[in-house]
Amino acid sequence: MPKPQNAMTIFQLLEKSNCRQCGEKTCMAFAGAVFMGHRPLSECPRLDRYIIEAHSDTFQNLDGVEQNRDDCLEHLKSLIKDIDLQAATVRTGGRCENDRLIIKVMGKDFAITRNGSISTDIHINPWVTAPFFNYVLYGKGIDPTGHWRSFRELTGGRERYPLFQKRCEEQMKQVADSYTELFDDVVQMFSGKQVDPQFQSDISVVFYPLPKLPIMACYWLPEEGMQSSLNVFFDQTADKNLDIGSIFSLGAGLAQMFTRVALRHGFRVVS
């Protein structure tokens, strides 16, 4: 199928309900974002996967998300050479060694040189790399206060929350439902910590994907007549230390990581 000439071609594939679950105000706005390469077609939560697969070749020649992401990372890398690494250690909660800025990412060392090269003992994923660069370049370095907010309460989070809920909270809950030892194992692997139950949850765990950007997952076990539930919270300073797009990426990335951990332990996550 040839490359679509305009967003209307993409719009015709959609449900046209303007449900906003993708984070856009209308289906036409989402179609425009896909056409411009800012969003993948798969981010429509109501689009049948067979339609997505059938049109995958159609959209691979667009200036898609993968290429945009790579270009964005290269641009962010190019900006690193101009920052003061010593000053950045204070803002980021990192340390400077051998002209490298070293920051703890999920409890593991993540080092960056002046030319933007990264070295780390953990697998380098795009969901970590872009937020990492933005955190180093633009974070204000405000210390967490311990006052927690939902994603939708952060600046720019309200419109994106339906998709965040689907890609982060619902996916984490599905893993936790299948894999009851999830939080214990993830805490041990990634230097998280269980804290006193928050908001009357059964389990509350805090992770540090970045030193000054803690994320708390609160899980409620199923009870008679009630399903389990899971919500993710951020310190109220999160949107001062990182942009909302990067915060979204961290949340969705954590959910993917939890799923991989469960699969490695032999648990099948049922969606």
Domain membership of residue 2 (yes or no) is no
* Cβ–Cβ < 8 Å for 135, 141: no
- Residue 195: which CATH number? 3.30.310
Q: What are phi and psi of 74, to 5 degrees?
A: -65, -40
Q: How many structural domains is the chain composed of?
A: 3
> How many CB atoms are located within 10 Å of the residue 211 CB?
19
Domain membership of residue 143 (yes or no) is no
Q: What is the per-residue pLDDT for 61?
A: 45
Looking at 138, 158, 185, the residue that finishes a domain is: 138
Q: What is the per-residue pLDDT for 231?
A: 96
CA distance 225 to 93: 45
Shared-domain flag, residues 174 and 259? yes
Shared-domain flag, residues 181 and 209? yes
Q: What is the per-residue pLDDT for 63?
A: 43
What one-character-per-residue DSSP string does 117-172 give?
A: -EEESS---HHHHHHHHHHHHH---PPP-S-EEEGGGSTT-TTTHHHHIIIIIHHH
Looking at 17, 35, 63, the residue that finishes a domain is: 63
Q: Which residues of the chain have a pLDDT value below 50?
A: 1, 61-66
Q: What is the per-residue pLDDT for 69?
A: 62
Shared-domain flag, residues 190 and 245? yes
Instruction: Find the domain containing 33 and state its range.
Output: 7-63
> How many CB atoms are located within 10 Å of the residue 221 CB?
14
Domain membership of residue 269 (yes or no) is no
> How many CB atoms are located within 10 Å of the residue 69 CB?
14
- Residue 27: which CATH number? 1.10.15.40
Q: What are the helix (H) ranges across the chain?
A: 7-11, 27-35, 49-54, 56-59, 65-80, 85-92, 126-138, 161-164, 170-178, 182-190, 238-241, 244-264
Q: What is the per-residue pLDDT for 62?
A: 47
Looking at 138, 162, 188, the residue that finishes a domain is: 138
Query: Residue written as tokens 């982060």?
Result: 168
Domain membership of residue 159 (yes or no) is yes
Shared-domain flag, residues 126 and 177? no
Domain membership of residue 174 (yes or no) is yes
